[in-house]
Structure 1
């Protein structure tokens, strides 16, 4: 995997590689979650039997049914009528005016003496009366009299005219005194017609004229108020709520005939195969783009080496996609149960893996992203867009796992931590059950309790099971792995202890110094400590050639040429690296063994050779390197030299130790051994202070006990 990452880094700059990986991740996530947003669709025809009980996957308005209900309520609104009492008075006034005009004209134009004169007068009266009657026309309509009818009116004496006027007026008033609707006008006209015909007081000669006047006078006194009725209809329609097909509502039962209403509802809900909606798909795309954008921002702004960021990115997306796959597997059986199957999901798996392999910040983001994806995957299609119960369950369980996992030093403690997570899960599920205000039987309650425990235990088991594979595949070094490597029972540490006990003691001392210094400057103290245990393992190849293992015996270098001694001493760094590689040790530990001397000069043998050969090349007496590439290795290189130098001092004290530590640190600085790591001058001063404090505690003055007499 390391070689694969190097190739990727050769071909792409990190921002480009980041974008490519996230695009691929987004496409895979879309493929996995597409079925969760598309919902169920059915290939159904009119009047066939429904193969299943079909529930609506969304809430949608049934516009046709809504309109039918509104028209129904509108048809039930009764017409509104308005009675006008003025009509009777107006029509009576009209009749009175007709007779008054007759009397007025008759008085103004007197009768002639001769027959011819009488005819001329009558004609003149009729003409004048017609002029006056024009004023009685309403809306262009008026009573049409024939000349004969008007002539008969003039034939009556004035008293008869007045009497007839009053009686006809009273008769019409009486008929119009009550409400008369348009459909009743004909009936009332027939009634007054009959009354006039049966009235003996009316002169026979004008009876036909009176009937015309009476019938014309009758009209509707109670008219329909169309504006008010229209307002009532609109108000009634507005009071009708839209008919909605609700999410989860049963549209058709299994075996029921799919009639036109059912077919229309299925069509409106978008559940027919030929009416698939693309809106949920677009929504899923937008959600994934939002999630991938968060990942891009986090990793692009992360201050770390590109190789480290690339490795951690790949691990993050792999765990994220694995979580989605686990959700989908649970989602496949969720419809077969009435309980919330999502509560079985191992909520702490992804957060714990990311926390142990990368860092807490990415683990928190992973918890949120996983919760969002779970809300979509476990939503039941007719309940909500996102199943918030499961999302919150994952957030609480995931965040609690990050709290409980702090300080864990052994893998076995993960399962113990799982029980704490189970308690959090059970608490949240209790909250969920109480807020639903539903009644649950013992089987449901037992399931939810088991789900809380299973989710936590699965989280721990999967974390334990996946952690070694990921560490091995990516050559990562988690705190668990480091603690395992620090065990004295490790075969390589046993080898150092048995074959080179002096080197083992030296390594432990260097480890104490390096650990304390790394913690002081924010470096990985545990990595430095474990690395120190193995940094001189190459000395096991020729243990007697290193002074700490000679135990007072003859030093073999006294009888060897400087070049031979040089080759033996310098070789221990590469020998150690190769030995560690053969045992599949982590790259970080191998780098410490190979780089802890950097390209420093083997001064003792260089000057020994120079005494015999002044033209000796200094470079030939330097370690091959490379120089320390990390803070941890740089600190180990200083600690290695300091421990050996202080151990060889006679009567060390605080002042001597301080001068020696400063001299060694400055020598390495001036020699350029820190040029390829990000160790600052300020941090070097802190490291010197920590070394002095630690060494003073080790080499403190002791009380001289009196000799026995």
Structure 2
């Protein structure tokens, strides 16, 4: 896998590669989670018997029922009426005017001579007919025919006055009370009875009097349309919307689906014909946001090489998708139990792995995103959009695992961290159970307690079990593995210490230099340190041929020709690679041993050979390489030469060390040993500065104490 990653990063730029990996990750996540937002839909018909008890999956307003209830409330509102006292006064005034006019005309007819009376009477009748429209109005329309007028005008003055008084009293009595449209006929009948049974009303004028009285009465209390409408609107507004609540049972199993139930099923979108695309679009937006966060996080990392970043993205995507698959497997049995089975999910396994293999930032981000995904996956059909308690459980458990793995030095302590996470899980479960304010049985409480412990311990076990496979598959070495390899009790380190103690000490010194320089430029300092411990393991085959292991001033190279000595020196690289491969050491450690000399020239023996033969070939005295391929290996290459050179100095000073370090670094640069790694000139200067600071601290000047005389 590591070789494949190296090849693809050379072909495709990292931003495009990152986008492509995340698009595929988001696509597979969408396929895995699509069924979780599809919801339940039923193929039901009107008047069919329901096969299941169906609950509403959301809260919706029943607009039809709400409108019906509002209209019922409005219809029950009593109309607002307005009583007009003025109409009564106007009616009485009109009656008095009418009879006053009749009395005046009657006098004129009565005062006329007998022979002309008939003519005057006819003239008054005609005049009166035309004046009636002026005396009465449209509402109090009084119509009197010729016979009625003739009867009135031929009656005596006293008869007319008596009729006026009785008629005005009868009408006034009725008009003093409210008369609505529905009471008008009753009021007119009452006036008619009053006149008909009056002992004083002239009998011959009763008929015409009744007609005048009935016509005079009008409606004096009318409906106030504006006020009535306002009251009806207020009644409508006072009716709260009728809602179908989330989780509410719409129809029980075995119940007939009537029109009202069918309409509610339509409103809540539970019928197969009403399946909405909105939830699927919502899921797509959620996944898009998640992938954008991942993209921003990985794209912002400028400290790692593209190969390492690509590997990190692949590991994160793999662990992320495997976690979602595991959630889906657990979700298959979630509906079979009354408890929330999702609490069994090993929420800390993904953060643990990503914290160890990738970075703390990736672990935290994945924790939050998996929490959101879990909230959608485990949400129930009539619950909220996200199962919030499970989402929070995943996030808190994951964050706890990140915090508790910051100082872990070996794999065995992952289980210790798991027990710490278990404690956090138990506290969160307690918070959840207490906040719900429900009564739980002992079986339920036992399940949640066991789930909290099981989730954390399983997370640790899965992390420990899967780490070697992921490390092997992606060709990576975790900080845990490096820390384990740095243990002085490791068989190979004990081998170096026992067989080549000078080499062991040299390796420690080089490790200090390399680690400090790597950390200064953002490279992997721990990898550089551990790699230095093993970089000269090949010298254990012939330890006496290397100056740091020689004692008593004996040097076997004094007895050998230069080319043979050169071959022995160069062979320690190949010997070291074989030893490391035999012990199945990580590829990164083997690369350090293989590349720490690159293709440099063994100058001492080359120039010695050249003194004997001018035609000697330089390639014969060079290491076989390859040249350093990473920043860490390049730093180790320089540090190895610097440490050996400074150690051989008789009187090291800060200035001498600075000049020597710069000379060696420039020699490596000019010799092309740094051509195949991405080390910049700026970083090279930083490395030189760190080397000088570290070496000055090691080879500092010592105070000469005065010799004491012997007693």
- The alignment partner of 1:594 has SS state of helix
Distance, in Å, in 1 between the alignment partners of 2:3 and 2:79 is 89
Show the counterpart of 2:470.
470
User: Per-residue CA shift, 1:181-240, capped at 9, x if unaligned?
Assistant: 322322332332233222243333322111111111233333333332222221111111
Query: How many residue pairs were aligned?
Result: 706
Distance, in Å, in 2 between the alignment partners of 1:212 and 1:346 is 99
Distance, in Å, in 2 between the alignment partners of 1:204 and 1:42 is 84
Show the counterpart of 2:343.
343
Residue 606 of structure 1 contacts residue 618 of structure 1 at CA under 8 Å; is this kept in 2?
Answer: yes
More deviation, 305-314/528-537: 528-537
With over 3 angstroms needed to count, the CA separation of the structure-2 counterparts of 1:688 and 1:28, relative to structure 1, is same
- TM-score, normalised to structure 2, is 0.91
More deviation, 528-537/496-505: 496-505
Show the counterpart of 1:6.
6
After TM superposition, give the deviation of residue 647 of structure 1 in Å: 5.0
Q: Which residues of 2 match residues 609-628 of structure 1 at below 5 A?
A: 609-628=609-628
Show the counterpart of 1:151.
150
With over 3 angstroms needed to count, the CA separation of the structure-2 counterparts of 1:669 and 1:307, relative to structure 1, is closer
Q: Which residues of 2 match residues 362-377 of structure 1 at below 5 A?
A: 362-377=362-377
With over 3 angstroms needed to count, the CA separation of the structure-2 counterparts of 1:683 and 1:589, relative to structure 1, is same
Show the counterpart of 1:130.
129
Distance, in Å, in 1 between the alignment partners of 2:645 and 2:6 is 39
Distance, in Å, in 1 between the alignment partners of 2:278 and 2:660 is 73
With over 3 angstroms needed to count, the CA separation of the structure-2 counterparts of 1:521 and 1:175, relative to structure 1, is closer
User: Per-residue CA shift, 1:466-523, capped at 9, x if unaligned?
Assistant: 2111111101111111122234554544554566555445434433443455455554
Q: Which residues of 2 match residues 405-554 of structure 1 at below 5 A?
A: 405-488=405-488, 490-493=490-493, 496=496, 500=500, 502-519=502-519, 522-540=522-540, 542-543=542-543, 545-548=545-548
Show the counterpart of 1:689.
693
Matched, 1:592 2:597: no
Residue 91 of structure 2 contacts residue 140 of structure 2 at CA under 8 Å; is this kept in 1?
Answer: no
Show the counterpart of 2:640.
640
After TM superposition, give the deviation of residue 260 of structure 1 in Å: 1.5
Distance, in Å, in 1 between the alignment partners of 2:166 and 2:647 is 148
More deviation, 614-623/418-427: 614-623
Show the counterpart of 1:46.
46
After TM superposition, give the deviation of residue 386 of structure 1 in Å: 2.0
After TM superposition, give the deviation of residue 703 of structure 1 in Å: 8.6
Distance, in Å, in 1 between the alignment partners of 2:464 and 2:710 is 59
Show the counterpart of 2:357.
357
More deviation, 59-68/421-430: 421-430
- The alignment partner of 2:247 has SS state of coil
Show the counterpart of 1:212.
211
Show the counterpart of 1:185.
184
Matched, 1:29 2:33: no
Distance, in Å, in 2 between the alignment partners of 1:659 and 1:314 is 44
User: Per-residue CA shift, 1:416-475, capped at 9, x if unaligned?
Assistant: 112222222222333333333334343333333323222221221221122111111101
User: Per-residue CA shift, 1:75-100, capped at 9, x if unaligned?
Assistant: 32233333333333332222222111
Matched, 1:321 2:321: yes
- The alignment partner of 1:82 has SS state of strand
- The alignment partner of 1:335 has SS state of helix
With over 3 angstroms needed to count, the CA separation of the structure-2 counterparts of 1:406 and 1:111, relative to structure 1, is same
More deviation, 453-462/637-646: 637-646
Distance, in Å, in 1 between the alignment partners of 2:120 and 2:72 is 66
Residue 521 of structure 1 contacts residue 686 of structure 1 at CA under 8 Å; is this kept in 2?
Answer: no
- The alignment partner of 1:680 has SS state of helix
Show the counterpart of 1:256.
255
Distance, in Å, in 2 between the alignment partners of 1:180 and 1:367 is 79
With over 3 angstroms needed to count, the CA separation of the structure-2 counterparts of 1:704 and 1:516, relative to structure 1, is farther
Residue 50 of structure 1 contacts residue 252 of structure 1 at CA under 8 Å; is this kept in 2?
Answer: yes
User: Per-residue CA shift, 1:616-664, capped at 9, x if unaligned?
Assistant: 4444433233333334323322332344345556687888767765654
Structure 1's unaligned 5+ residue stretches are none
More deviation, 214-223/124-133: 214-223
Residue 493 of structure 2 contacts residue 534 of structure 2 at CA under 8 Å; is this kept in 1?
Answer: yes
User: Per-residue CA shift, 1:238-260, capped at 9, x if unaligned?
Assistant: 11111111111111122222222
Q: Which residues of 2 match residues 61-100 of structure 1 at below 5 A?
A: 61-100=61-100
Distance, in Å, in 2 between the alignment partners of 1:125 and 1:655 is 147
More deviation, 187-196/613-622: 613-622
Residue 517 of structure 2 contacts residue 686 of structure 2 at CA under 8 Å; is this kept in 1?
Answer: no
With over 3 angstroms needed to count, the CA separation of the structure-2 counterparts of 1:446 and 1:379, relative to structure 1, is same
Show the counterpart of 2:244.
245
With over 3 angstroms needed to count, the CA separation of the structure-2 counterparts of 1:302 and 1:516, relative to structure 1, is closer
Distance, in Å, in 2 between the alignment partners of 1:228 and 1:336 is 60
Distance, in Å, in 2 between the alignment partners of 1:421 and 1:396 is 9
More deviation, 54-63/678-687: 678-687
Structure 2's unaligned 5+ residue stretches are none
Distance, in Å, in 2 between the alignment partners of 1:518 and 1:707 is 49
Residue 595 of structure 2 contacts residue 628 of structure 2 at CA under 8 Å; is this kept in 1?
Answer: yes
Distance, in Å, in 2 between the alignment partners of 1:704 and 1:559 is 43
Residue 47 of structure 1 contacts residue 257 of structure 1 at CA under 8 Å; is this kept in 2?
Answer: yes
User: Per-residue CA shift, 1:86-123, capped at 9, x if unaligned?
Assistant: 333332222222111212333456654344x2222111
- The alignment partner of 1:251 has SS state of strand
Residue 36 of structure 1 contacts residue 377 of structure 1 at CA under 8 Å; is this kept in 2?
Answer: yes
Residue 189 of structure 1 contacts residue 215 of structure 1 at CA under 8 Å; is this kept in 2?
Answer: yes
Show the counterpart of 1:608.
608
User: Per-residue CA shift, 1:301-343, capped at 9, x if unaligned?
Assistant: 3212211111100111111112222222332333333434333
